[in-house]
Structure 1
Amino acid sequence: MSQPGKALIGVTGATGRLGGRVARRLAAAGAAQRLVVRDPARAADLAGASAVRAEFSDRNAVRAALDGVPTVLMVSASETPDRLARHTAFVDAAVDAGVAHLVYISFYGAAPDCTFTLGRDHYATEQHIRASGLSFTFLRDNLYADFLTALVGADGVIRGPAGAGRVAAVAQDDIADAATTVLLDPAAHAGATYALTGPQALSLEEVAAVLTAELHRPVTYQPETVEQAYASRAGFGAPRWQLDAWVSTYTAIAAGEVAGVTADVARLTGHPATALADLLRRGGSAY
């Protein structure tokens, strides 16, 4: 149950990898939480937390779930063609519920024309939040370092049209630490946009070398053309929008749009951003 006398913090996506990390950190800090999830039975049993069921697209359910919750972490919804519409519905419901401050998990370099196709939805969501009148903080995360291992094929090869571009991938633990800092003192971060990155930008050839050393198995990078990338992924049977997202992950790297390194993780958390090798050594891998 939520603790009386403490301002509630709402956390969406609390049964997922990132939202769950944030919820555990808030519980450790003694915060009172309302976990807004699709399946309360899957929510962790955390001190000071209660779980309520609400889908982003169900405005009435979201409004009820966020009633009396002044600060909310909005973890972006799962990737679907209607994700922007679900985001918009959630933001509108948050306004209706009287939420004061929304912390939104966005994407590094979000823009209406960014190469990574899903980053465009993040930009549009940010614009809707700005227009809503809510106080906000945007956490623009680079690609997740935790999932770089998932780029490796069964044959030990990373394939994609990334060229010699670089990516400053960020550890999810660092994002969770940063989000927790903001949620515990939202007024100090009102109107701020933070770009959360790893400590260095690596080419996929360098990523492969780190994976080889830390996973103790050979990993290599094989550049593809854009045409080859679509052809090599055609057998998965994914819809075109999903293929575009997959391929544009690599073309965004090639375009240099995810290469920038910032000090925002250290600024918010008080500790340096986690290097890929260090993440792997402590077991941070999806592969």
Structure 2
Amino acid sequence: MSIAVTGTSGHLGSLIVEALAAKVSPDTIVALARNVPRAETRLPAGTAIRPADYDIPDSLNSALNDVATLVLVSGSEVGNRVRQHRSVIDAAVRAGVTRVVYTSLLNADTATANPLAGEHLATEDYLRASGLQFTILRNGWYTENFLGSAQQAVATGEFSGSAGSGRVASASRADYALAAATVAAEPGHEGSIYSLGGDVSWNYDGLAVMISEISGRHVTYRDLSPKEHSDALVALGGLDEATAAFIVAVDGAIKAGELDTDSNDLAVLIGRATTPPAQTLADLLSADE
């Protein structure tokens, strides 16, 4: 029986496969991907890849054959994810999968400002009701999500937002991937819900300091009202109003403390300190040069 990982043509799913390959025999890993050619460019040579599309139930049925543990990486299509995740969970039940490891959202059960929380909580509830064994990984924000702000700051000396002094306990994608691989490869995590975030939280003023130290350029953070932030994203960033509204809502969630945690679950699962955000951003900015 195998361990399958969904979403392996994307960043997190491919990193989970890489981390799993260091923990279990590679021939027990099955990578599920909507875009198989893209997955082939991201995954280690020789990885078994099966086509699987959240929107095509028949593809899920065949993809989950002989799978014992399924790592369900949440879909990327906001607004469609509950339906898509339910299709995967239903297929897992039909295929006889034993356990599902789901990548949820930090504070999904209490968040009221985060626009992503509702879909994750609905998926958690559906997974509990499925009868499958489960492990829920409530992932915090990726440090990589702030690369755009860092690039803007290096170029102009400033970045803006509407998060006030709200704090983010971010960690690298690789950290979250290693946690998922650990849980998938080991027994004893059934029924557990883990709150995952970085060891140290920071606010946007602290992010400005990090970027200054990395780049050698003095950087400041300009805090805006939500409307000012939205207007700036549309007028200066060239974004459509819906995308701008989503970004502003995420900053609202940060301001409300919904992307912060004092849990050390992530460090415990990966067996080391989480990757400092300054290190992740320095690597990304260096690669961008």
8 Å contact 1:147–1:285 — kept in the other structure? Answer: no
Question: How many Å separate the matches in 2 of 1:232 and 1:16?
Answer: 29
Change (3 A) 1:238 1:112: farther
Distance 1:202 1:196, change over 3 A: same
- 1:199 equivalent to 2:199? Answer yes
> Partner residue of 1:4?
none
Q: Give the conservation status (yes or no) of the 8 Å contact 1:57–1:90.
A: no
Q: Which has the higher mean CA deviation after the structures are superposed, 135-144 or 257-266?
A: 257-266
**Equivalent-residue separation in structure 1 for 2:3 and 2:14 (angstroms):** 14
1:165-192: CA deviation from partner (whole Å, max 9, x where unpaired): 111111111111111111111x310011
Structure 1 counterpart of 2:51? 53
Looking at structure 1, the residues matched to 71 and 185 of structure 2 have their Cα atoms a distance apart, in angstroms, of 11
| Structure 1 gap ranges (5+) | 1-6
Partner of 1:20: 14
Deviates more, 1:224-233 or 1:153-162: 153-162
2:240 pairs with 1:238? yes
Deviation at 1:253, TM superposition (A): 1.1
Deviation at 1:250, TM superposition (A): 0.6
Relative distance call for 1:203 and 1:231 in structure 2 (3 A) is same
Checking the alignment, whether the CA contact within 8 Å between 2:108 and 2:121 is kept in structure 1 is: yes
Q: How does 1:149-160 map to 2 (within 5 A)?
A: 149-152=147-150, 153=152, 155-160=156-161
Unmatched tracts of structure 2, length 5 or more:
none
Count of residues in correspondence between the two structures: 279
Worse-superposed segment, 134-143 or 207-216: 207-216
Give the distance between the partners of 2:12 and 2:118, measured in 1 at CA.
21
- Is contact 1:146-1:285 (8 Å) kept? no
- Alignment of 1:9 onto 2:15: no
2:124 alignment counterpart: 126
Query: Which residue does the alignment assign to 1:37?
Result: 33
DSSP-derived class of the 1:257 partner: coil
Contact 1:149 1:285 in 2 (8 A): no
- Taking the TM superposition and a 5 Å limit, the aligned residue runs for 1:178-217 are 178-185=179-186, 187-217=187-217
Q: Which residue number in structure 2 is paired with residue 107 of structure 1?
A: 105
User: Tell me, what secondary structure is at the counterpart of 1:210?
Assistant: helix
Q: 1:286 to 1:38 in 2, by over 3 A?
A: farther
Q: Secondary structure at the match of 1:117?
A: coil
Deviations 1:25-51 (A, max 9, x none): 222332411111012122235366311
Aligned-partner Cα distance in 2 for 1:191–1:284: 39
Structure 2 CA distance for partners of 1:85 and 1:239, relative to 1, 3 Å:
farther
Q: Cα distance, 1:261 vs. partner?
A: 2.3
* Identity in percent: 33
Deviates more, 1:254-263 or 1:231-240: 231-240
The SS at the match of 1:26 is helix
The answer to whether the Cα contact below 8 Å between 1:95 and 1:134 also exists between their aligned partners in 2 is yes
| Alpha-carbon distance in 2 for matches of 1:267, 1:275 | 15
What is the TM-score with the length of structure 2 in the denominator?
0.89
CA contact (8 A) 1:161 1:251 kept: yes
Q: Distance in 1 between matches of 2:137 and 2:105?
A: 7
1:179-221 deviation digits (Å, cap 9, x = unpaired): 1111111x31001111111111111010111011113334321
State the shift of 1:83 in Å.
2.1
Alignment deviations for residues 230-270 of structure 1 (CA, whole Å, 9 cap, x no partner): 22223445363x43321111111111222222211221111
Q: CA deviation at 1:81?
A: 2.5
